[in-house]
Amino acid sequence: MVDGSWFMVGGRPRVTIHHPPLTISVLCLALLLASSASWAAAVAVLPDDDATRGNWHPVYGQRSYVFFALGENRAAVTRGDPLLTRVYTGRPDREPQVWRSRGDWELDGRVLRNPLTGRRMPGVINDWVSDAKLGRGPNLFLDVSIPDGLFVLSLYFFEVDWIQYRAYTLTVQAPDGKVLATTPVEDFYEGKYKRLAVSGPTKLTLHLRRQMSTNALVSAAFLDPVAPSLPFVVAFYKNEWRFAAGATWSCPQPSFLAARRRYEELEALLAKTPDVFVTRVNQYSEVAGNLDKFMASAELPSEHRLEALWMQAQSRRQLGDMAGKRRALTDFAQLLAKSNPSRATTAEILDAAAQKCLGAGQTVEAQALHDGLVATMAGDATDVCLKLATLYAGKDDLYAAGKAGAAARALATNKALPEAERADRAIKLARRFLGDGKPLLAHEAFLGVLDASSPSKLSADDFDQFVSNAKKVHDARPAAEACETWLRENKGHARRPAVYRALIECRLLSEAPAAADDACQRLRAELPNENTADLEWMVAEGYLRRVDLARAKAGFEAIQQRRPNTSYAARAGMRLKEVQARLDAVARGE
């Protein structure tokens, strides 16, 4: 238990890691307010999101998240309020199965990014039971705790590993068993978020029926609060724009006037009479359509386009169109930079607007504007990236880590600096983050250094710190690749045994026991006098964790043969009995 938060899988507690708030569509507010205070109206089904896919961050997970199978030993990774209190199947004698796929998934946009590392890693929890007939369960159940307030509860589904028939029914039940909502879960090969509007405090049970599917599975769960819109953020003064939230312009274009009038009506309804707002929320589509017509017109003054883009972003957010919102904000930042004569003032406006968004809980919007600020920088953006890394550290560590890596890469490739000084300054930045207790930022800074230079350029201490920290943040794959590069570049070096050892440990942490086995064999061939007994044992255990029983058996047998009459041989004999029993069970079809 961390900070008093936990949840259970099959009755066993899992570790919790906290996460900061983000922004979500006000559409959920509309659907929730449309309901009465009765149980039957506590939940509403929202439109699916099949655009965000694996790029959940920072769109989802403002209040809480749960990623199944992505932690150490395939534990769940969670943050925020204790969202899930229990996960179980419809058969009391069978606990849910967790599954994490091996391999490199970094280029697969369907796969969620691990919040611990920022790398894509597929993991699911499912109800698989070998003797369950199609259409007969056992099904997957998730007990959910919703805190006080209005939220969107989202579940992410995608087809993991290979294509199979998948079509479920998701039923939401009250504590007394009453069905509050039912929705199909299908066509999610490319990734899909099922979204539910929920009002708390309450307890819910999510019943995922596998129907005729091989099994019922889910990758992650997210909880996000509702956030209001923000007013326009710039005003025109002495031939340039300044930050002044609430400014408006007088524009004669009918489409613009119609969009602004409808937009202001909806915002007033939301503030004063939310029950009426509920019936009209979809009119934000009308606002967005009129703004599209307006911006398609030629020869429009920049000030009118700026306000139109801002309203477009806010309207898209209300409708839950995350991609459209980000496009509008990106266009807003680019137009401001292009048309404003003062680059410094443009940066001030974007930063002030982003800070305003942060203060209102609109982290997604804030990051889009800060990204626009970085894009407007002429030359070295190191200082800006460092400030953003510091600003978001503790609020949104993944975004902060990305900016830390960008700062390190900018330093390592800064041609204004002497070549010998570039990597050194970038490495000092990584050391600083380590000293400040920010391991994820330090990890991205080290990766930024390695993007621009060889791991051989790192001192022994820096290299060891990088590898140790990579293991700490559960992102051992790039550390293993750095070890391989170092070994290729440093033949005959006295540190080769230590780097081999680090390589094998990282391969095992990356759940690649075959690659670890290969490295162990290379080490024995190159340095036959090196004691590798512990490494061979770790490799055999790695195969066993991956349920690769044949290779695990071969590994333990090899230990017995190489080291007879040792404690390793005795332990290997005990493991072989366990492995053989499991092999026999598989042969019997158990």
User: How far from 81 is each of 61, 85, 482, CA to CA, in Å?
Assistant: 11, 10, 37
pLDDT in tens, 278-309: 456 667 788 888 888 888 876 677 778 888 89
Query: Which pLDDT belongs to residue 31?
Result: 42
Query: Which pLDDT belongs to residue 273?
Result: 64
Residue 427 lies in a domain: no
pLDDT in tens, 352-377: 888 888 888 788 788 888 888 888 77
pLDDT in tens, 9-62: 333 333 333 333 333 344 444 444 444 333 333 677 777 888 888 988 878 888
Residue 415 lies in a domain: no
pLDDT in tens, 529-576: 899 999 999 999 988 887 788 999 999 999 999 989 899 999 999 999
- Assess whether pLDDT exceeds 60 at residue 238: no
d(CA 159, CA 218): 9
- Same domain for 343 and 266: yes
Query: Which pLDDT belongs to residue 115?
Result: 86
Average pLDDT, the chain: 81
Nearest-CA neighbor of 198 among 238, 151, 155?
151
* Residue 333 banded pLDDT, cuts 50, 70, 90: confident
DSSP bridge partners of 124: 99
- Same domain for 300 and 261: yes
d(CA 199, CA 197): 7
Which pair of tokens denotes residue 312? 């477009």
Alpha-helical (H) ranges within 238-342 are 254-272, 274-280, 284-295, 302-319, 322-339
d(CA 511, CA 29): 42
- Same domain for 204 and 102: yes
Residue 155 lies in a domain: yes
Residue 496 lies in a domain: no
Beta carbons of 520 and 531 less than 8 angstroms apart: no
Q: Of 335, 354, 378, at which residue does a domain stop? A: 378
Beta carbons of 164 and 213 less than 8 angstroms apart: yes
Q: What angle do CA 536, 537, 541 make, to 5 degrees?
A: 120
- Same domain for 71 and 88: yes
Q: Of 358, 378, 398, at which residue does a domain stop? A: 378
- Same domain for 144 and 46: yes
Residue 485 lies in a domain: no
- Same domain for 203 and 264: no
Residue whose tokens read 């406006």: 349
Q: How many CA atoms lie within 13 A of 299 on its CB side?
A: 0
Angle formed by the axes of helices 363-376 and 322-339, to 10°?
Answer: 30
* Residue 218 banded pLDDT, cuts 50, 70, 90: very high
Residue range 467-474: mean pLDDT, rounded:
87
Residue 457 lies in a domain: no
Domains of the chain: total? 3
- Same domain for 194 and 48: yes
- Same domain for 25 and 116: yes
Residue 324 lies in a domain: yes
- Same domain for 271 and 245: yes
Full domain range(s) for residue 590: 531-590
Q: Of 175, 191, 225, at which residue does a domain stop? A: 225
Residues 6+ apart with CB under 8 A from 546: 102, 511, 513
pLDDT in tens, 103-143: 678 778 889 988 887 788 888 888 877 667 777 778 999 99
Residue whose tokens read 């139109």: 308
- Dihedral sign for Cα atoms in the order 569, 571, 574, 578: negative
- Same domain for 324 and 344: yes
Range with the largest mean pLDDT of 50-59, 66-75, 414-423, 454-463: 454-463
- Same domain for 246 and 162: no
Residue 470 lies in a domain: no
- pTM of this prediction exceeds 0.85: no
Which pair of tokens denotes residue 401? 């880590």
191: domain CATH number is 2.60.120
- Same domain for 269 and 145: no
Residues 6+ apart with CB under 8 A from 24: 60, 62, 151, 152, 224, 225, 226, 227, 320
